[in-house]
C-alpha cells in the first residue's frame, strides 16, 4: 500500500554516543510529524537507539545485512538476527553495489530473506551518470527491478519500498530535477508496482524537498547527508 515515508540513512557516521545524541534530538524534533519516519543508524548503534525510540513515531532500519540466516560468514549479520530490532532494511544501495560489488542476484536473495523475516525492504535502484548521459536510465532501472524482484509473488512484491537513487545525485549536491524524478517514479509504478511506496534519494535537503514532495508518483525520501542534522531532517519530513 502506498504510504508516505521519510527515511534517514546515516551511513558510516557517528559512534554510539553520537548516534544516541542524534536519536534523542530526533525524538524531540520529529514528534507529531505525519509520514512514517525511519532512521537507519550504523549497526553498532541499532540496539541503544531502538531502546530510545521505542514507543515514539520513529521506526528503525538497518543499512545492510547478509542473505543467509547463519553460518560461516565472517563479519556479516543476518536478516533473522535483526528481527525484533528493526522494521526496515536498506537493500541494494549504490554504495553496496559499487564499493562492495553487490550484484542483482545477491540483492534479490536479500529482498526475499527480508520479506521472510517480515522486515520491510527499502530496495534502492538508480543509474550512473554515464547511463543517464546515454539516455538509457529507463531501460537500466527496469532491468534492475526485474532482477532484484525476480521470483516474488504479487503480495510479497507489494511490500517492497522502492527508492529511486540516481548515483550521480548521491552526496553530490546535484539532485535530480522534479521532471527526472517523476519520470522514473512513474516508470517504476508501471512495472507492476503501482501500489508500492516509491521514494527518491540523492542530495535531498530542506531547500529542495518541498518541490519534490508534490510529485504525484513520489511517496517520500531516502535522505543521506541531511539526515544527520535533526532539524533539517524534520523540515524535510514535514513536507508530507
Ligand atoms: P545523500 O544520500 O542524501 O547524501 O545524497 C542519499 C543516499 O545515499 O541514500
Tens digit of pLDDT for each residue in 189-207?
999 999 999 999 999 999 9
pLDDT of 174 strictly over 90: no
**Averaged pLDDT of the chain:** 97
Pocket (CB within 6 angstroms of ligand 1): 9, 165, 170-171, 201-204, 222-226
pLDDT of 1 strictly over 90: no
Beta strand spans in the chain (E): 5-9, 36-40, 58-62, 88-91, 120-125, 161-164, 198-200, 220-223
- Atom 2 in ligand 1: which residue has the minimum CA distance? 224
pLDDT of 239 strictly over 90: yes
Annotated catalytic residue, options 93, 102, 182, 232:
93
Which of 201, 204, 222 to mutate to test ligand 1, by most ligand atoms within 8 A of the CB atom?
201
Indicate which atom in ligand 1 lies nearest the CA of residue 225. 4
Q: What does the alpha-carbon distance between residue 220 and residue 181 come to, in Å, rounded to a whole number?
A: 12
pLDDT of 16 strictly over 90: yes
Which of 96, 97, 225 to mutate to test ligand 1, by most ligand atoms within 8 A of the CB atom?
225
Res. 171 pLDDT band, cuts 50 70 90: confident
Residues 27-45: tens digit of each pLDDT: 999 999 999 999 999 999 9
Q: Radius of gyration over alpha carbons of the chain, in Å?
A: 17
Annotated catalytic residue, options 36, 127, 165, 182:
165
Within a 13 Å sphere around the CA of 179, how many CA atoms are in the beta-carbon half? Answer: 0
18 catalytically annotated: no
pTM for this entry? 0.97
Please answer whether residues 53 and 30 qualify as being in contact, where contact means their C-beta atoms are separated by less than 8 angstroms: no
Percentage helix, strand, coil, to 5, in the chain? Answer: 40, 15, 40
Report the percent of the chain where pLDDT is more than 70. 100
Q: What is the mean pLDDT of residues 101-105?
A: 98
Res. 154 pLDDT band, cuts 50 70 90: very high
Amino acid at each position: 500500500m502506498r504510504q508516505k515515508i521519510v527515511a534517514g540513512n546515516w551511513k558510516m557516521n557517528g559512534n554510539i554516543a553520537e548516534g544516541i545524541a542524534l536519536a534523542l534530538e530526533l525524538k524531540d524534533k520529529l514528534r507529531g510529524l505525519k509520514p512514517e519516519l525511519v532512521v537507519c543508524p550504523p549497526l553498532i548503534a541499532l540496539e541503544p537507539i531502538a531502546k530510545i525510540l521505542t514507543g515514539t513515531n520513529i521506526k528503525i532500519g538497518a543499512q545492510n545485512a547478509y542473505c543467509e540466516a547463519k553460518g560461516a560468514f565472517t563479519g556479516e549479520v543476518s536478516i533473522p538476527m535483526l528481527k525484533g530490532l528493526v522494521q526496515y532494511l536498506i537493500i541494494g544501495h549504490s554504495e553496496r553495489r559499487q564499493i562492495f560489488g553487490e550484484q542483482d542476484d545477491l540483492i534479490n536473495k536479500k529482498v526475499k530473506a527480508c520479506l521472510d523475516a517480515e522486515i520491510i525492504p527499502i530496495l534502492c535502484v538508480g543509474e550512473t551518470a554515464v547511463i543517464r548521459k546515454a539516455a538509457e536510465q529507463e531501460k537500466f532501472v527496469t532491468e534492475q527491478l526485474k532482477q532484484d524482484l525476480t521470483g516474488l509473488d504479487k503480495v510479497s512484491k507489494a511490500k517492497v519500498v522502492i527508492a529511486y537513487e540516481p548515483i550521480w545525485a548521491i552526496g553530490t549536491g546535484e539532485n535530480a530535477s522534479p521532471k527526472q524524478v517523476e519520470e522514473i517514479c512513474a516508470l517504476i509504478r508501471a512495472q507492476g508496482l503501482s501500489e508500492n511506496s516509491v521514494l527518491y534519494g540523492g542530495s535531498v535537503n530542506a531547500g529542495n524537498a518541498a518541490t519534490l514532495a508534490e510529485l504525484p508518483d513520489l511517496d517520500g525520501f531516502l535522505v543521506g547527508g541531511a539526515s544527520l542534522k535533526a532539524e533539517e531532517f524534520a523540515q524535510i519530513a514535514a513536507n508530507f
